[in-house]
Amino acid sequence: MNPDTCPIVNCTTCPTAPPPPPTCTGVAATCTVPSCTACTQQNVNNAPQHMQRDAKEIVAAMGMGWNLGNTFDSYHRVSSQRDGAGYAIGEDVTRLETMWLSGSGDATTLTLIKRLKELGFETIRIPVTWHRVADPDNNWTIWTPYMDRVHEVVKMAYDEGMYVVLNVHHDDYVMRYSSGPARNVSETAGQINAVDRAQTELVHRRFWEQISTRFAAFGERLIFEGLNEPRTIDSPAEWTGGTSHEREFINELNQLFVDTVRATGGNNKWRTLMLPTYAASAALNPLRTFEKPEDEVENRLALSLHAYSPFSWAHDGWGAYAGWKSALEADFNRIQTRAGNLNMPVVLGEWGSVNNINNVDNTSAAQRATHARDYVFMAVSRGMAPIWWDNANQLGRNEQHPISTHGFGLIARAAPHNPFYAEIVTGMSDGLALARSGGQLPG
């Protein structure tokens, strides 16, 4: 008996899709037909073989990641949000890629990607600022040469077997989440007006229509991140969780992002998508008020958070890491609890520790290495993916550098792309290995 002639199990009443094909065994060619219990959620979504893993499986496999920061996300600030759009169309693409770096020699190369792999990084996040090359007078069409260059770098990393996160980054200058002067945004004045809402929704939709269409052929290791740190620039609540109106609107934009990507079809129907809270904050209010978007496929959404924890030490560079381990664990537990309630995995799209060269006991690198080990272990052991924020600046804070200087640089952009602090990369690798082996942190 040919297996094709065996009875077909009807799984339309199962919470799954068609089971594996039947097989025939034995002398009598008896049909062995899998029951509906053999159906899997991936099959429910009718995903092709190369798009079958859900968001939790994807995130769990991302390991430790690295940001291509201060590269495609660079921009010039301008006074008028709309007038700033499209100003870089026609400029030299390499200059746009490296304007925040040390020159054209720091353009992204395959050599850099291969070096990242050698160092143990399995994921690269590629932040991109699009408004500078989008024409507001032509339906926000993105300039093709710039899109081509981003595509080239994404393909470099993808072809090397890496997971790639592609996003919309510093586009808050053409997208608004509240109306009125930023300094006046409050719970009562923060609701967005119809004009600003319409433009923000249009820009958000048009960017993702174009990005999704251009990158639709990539498989499941390419992840889209809808927004970076959506917030009202320079508002009183910019870094303290925003207003209720802003948080509500960002929830709506997250839904628009999901709907827009899915509508482009192809692999995008099943692609894992990352959704941020207000400012990608892991604080209580943004986490509590985040709403999971509806999706036409199941289990393909991830929560996007940035957590420089413990903040005063890791982000601002004050004090010492010793004694902060319990606080770090408390932050992870808070995130894990909310993510569990949402049934969403977590990508920590930005984290790290600033190079504090004022550290009086001269143990900054050692402390940062211990923190890196602890952070990666706590993330990966909870099914989260940590991606180090590398802004290509290895300098820290001292009297010669302003308080705004953030030295998160980890890997040299110039060949041979060695780590500035090899012990930090080792700490990250140790934390990853310990988590994947089921071990425990010492002490």
**Could you tell me if 18 and 105 lie in one domain?**
no
Active site residues: 229, 350
Please state the rounded mean pLDDT for residues 357-367. Answer: 62
Please state the rounded mean pLDDT for residues 259-283. Answer: 97
pLDDT at res. 190: 57
**Could you tell me if 28 and 173 lie in one domain?**
no
The total of structural domains in the chain comes to: 2
Tell whether 69 is covered by a domain.
yes
Tell whether 356 is covered by a domain.
yes
**Could you tell me if 306 and 396 lie in one domain?**
yes
**Could you tell me if 212 and 271 lie in one domain?**
yes
**Could you tell me if 15 and 73 lie in one domain?**
no
Please state the rounded mean pLDDT for residues 281-301. Answer: 97
For residues 189 and 84, which has the higher predicted lDDT (pLDDT)? 84
**Could you tell me if 136 and 23 lie in one domain?**
no
Exposed, middle or buried: residue 361 (CB in 10 Å: 0-12, 13-18, 19+)?
exposed
pLDDT at res. 396: 55
**Could you tell me if 90 and 221 lie in one domain?**
yes
Q: Rounded to an integer, what distance in angstroms lies between the CA atom of residue 40 and that of residue 35?
A: 11
**Could you tell me if 153 and 288 lie in one domain?**
yes
Strands (DSSP E) contained in 90-161 are: 123-126, 134-135, 141-142
**Could you tell me if 194 and 297 lie in one domain?**
yes
**Could you tell me if 26 and 76 lie in one domain?**
no
* 14-28, 211-225, 243-257, 326-340: least confident range: 14-28
Instruction: Tell me: pLDDT of 386 over 70.
Output: yes
pLDDT grade, residue 5 (50/70/90)? very low
Please state the rounded mean pLDDT for residues 45-66. Answer: 94
The CATH number linked to 64 is 3.20.20.80
Tell whether 442 is covered by a domain.
no
* 73-82, 191-200, 255-264: least confident range: 73-82
pLDDT grade, residue 268 (50/70/90)? very high
Tell whether 224 is covered by a domain.
yes
pLDDT grade, residue 12 (50/70/90)? very low
**Could you tell me if 221 and 165 lie in one domain?**
yes
The 10 Å CB-count burial string (b at 16+, else e) for 214-245 is bbbebebbbbbbbbbbbbbeebebbeebbbeb
Q: Give the closest residue to 111 by CA, choosing from 162, 73, 157.
A: 157
CA quadruple 192, 196, 200, 202: dihedral, nearest 10: 130
Q: Give the closest residue to 134 by CA, choosing from 90, 164, 99.
A: 90
Most confidently predicted of 49-53, 80-84, 117-121:
117-121
Instruction: Tell me: pLDDT of 279 over 80.
Output: yes
Tell whether 419 is covered by a domain.
yes
pLDDT digits (tens, 9 = 90+) for 66-90: 999 999 999 886 544 445 799 999 9
Tally Cβ neighbours within 10 Å of residue 333. Answer: 12
Domain that includes residue 128, residue range: 50-436
Instruction: Tell me: pLDDT of 3 over 50.
Output: no
Tell whether 274 is covered by a domain.
yes
pLDDT at res. 40: 40
At 6, list the tokens: 């065996």
pLDDT at res. 16: 38
Tell whether 441 is covered by a domain.
no
For residues 196 and 1, which has the higher predicted lDDT (pLDDT)? 196
Instruction: Tell me: pLDDT of 370 over 50.
Output: yes
pLDDT grade, residue 132 (50/70/90)? very high
Distances (CA, A) of 118 to 26, 112, 121, 141, 160: 50, 10, 7, 37, 11
Instruction: Tell me: pLDDT of 373 over 80.
Output: yes
Please state the rounded mean pLDDT for residues 53-70. Answer: 98
Q: What percent of the chain has pLDDT over 90?
A: 68
Tell whether 443 is covered by a domain.
no
**Could you tell me if 293 and 402 lie in one domain?**
yes
